[in-house]
Structure 1
């Protein structure tokens, strides 16, 4: 794959191969509960909860679609919260994005957390790049970048390529 990107006004041409990646974009994720790979879109779900005292949703997680990784609904109920989950296959692609955007800012307690979930579900290679994000930050990789550049698919590939060996 040929990747063109601009940082600080410069143009760089770099060749990356998607064969260098560990996760298949929009098909595999890292489970937020157990830390293992969710091997297929059918095996995962997005979950969150809301309190019974207000309608704000929070604590979004991508997890394996089984009771060992998902929130315990009875425990949440005792805390006055209600668990909500949706299969990942219903949240990717155009329809999934429209659904997620339809939740609306007024219903979300932590908008930054919500943006992170959207990037994980919809930006190619971002999920894997997150594994090395701390290395890129320590290396000042994002220094001088605009607000969007760190989250572009091309940038994610560059992060994976540059830091995956250091992250092992």
Structure 2
């Protein structure tokens, strides 16, 4: 079998997408577990917050609400924050041509913080008609634990994001606004 050609990082584009930090009334953050084929045995379980691509001419905020609905079934939210910058990560060499369907070298993401106003029964990660499920399970996690759940090549982005959104991931009390 001939050797496969080496991918040149510079020939693969960066995928433009959105990410969502979904925060419940207890100040916990929603994470879902993905099991992409490329993960095992190198990375084990992969947890992440909802994220996805922006469609042509779609505003990022609308994309974030759509992706959240598609991946989690959640629609009962309030947008409480938007990161002022686009945050990026690049795949490590060993995942080029494999992760992100082999078509991208990384992602440039606009992140939104959203307060979940519903209850857990609203969350539905089962596959929808014509799509596959993004996650096989999910949980609420303390904000400070989220970066350690993430694959190492995304960890710096998640550390930045959790630090910048920490003031939003507080429990809601009767005295505090949602």
TM-score (normalised: structure 2): 0.28
Looking at secondary structure, tell me which structure has more strand per residue: 2
Which has more helix, going by share of residues?
Answer: 1
Larger RCO of the pair (alpha carbons < 8 Å, separation 6+): 2
